[in-house]
Chains A and B, each alone.
Chain A
């Protein structure tokens, strides 16, 4: 099973600043990686798939990059609604697909 490791566990950033979240796979997942945002009491929302393709309706301030084992989610200018927990997920080796443990993005 591929293990997904996200860092940091918690990231404190001020509104308007850039946030960079990392995700590492224990073996190559090619570009078969997605990012999700989850706010308290809500279901996850797909942000990025294919490592770098924004899902429908996702603002351009969200961007994804990477391939193989190293991936990054960048939020260029944080808005108040962006503070949430972010998960990466690999779907290259199915079953299973696996999620990272999450990064909590909090207001500094």
Chain B
């Protein structure tokens, strides 16, 4: 079964850090780009970051650039998002999503169930 399982969310104070993980199974992980997409409570979808199959290309939304870092470990079939200097506006459900191509320019055909990040003092 094709599956993405996120972990690492939780309650964190403003200015602190958090690292999200996404474990992939059921497909050849290192063939595809991967992304993080977030959804604030009651709001729409916001793309956060993406990475190509070989980590050669990464991209970030302006809202997180310089604070968040995406990475992947193809040997472990895992995707990560290091989130530093967290702000209240980063509060959201964070989804891991699989791209349909190895490069990040493409739709997202598999999504995890998300991990909730709450930034509050």
Q: Please report A residues at the B interface, Cβ cutoff 8 Å.
A: 1, 32, 34, 36, 38, 43-46, 49-50, 55-56, 87, 89, 91-92, 94-102
Contacts and interface: CB of A to CB of B under 8 A. Distances in A.
A95 B104 contact: yes
A101 B59 CA distance: 21
Contacts of B46: 99
Contacts of A44: 37, 45, 95, 108, 111
B61 interface: yes
Nearest to A87: B45
A1 to B, nearest CB: 7
Contacts, number: 67
B47 A43 contact: no
Contacts of A94: 50, 59, 104-105
A91 B106 contact: yes
Nearest to B48: A96
Interface in B91-121: 95, 100, 104-109, 111-114
Contacts of B47: 89, 95-99
B107 to A, nearest CB: 4
B44 A97 contact: no
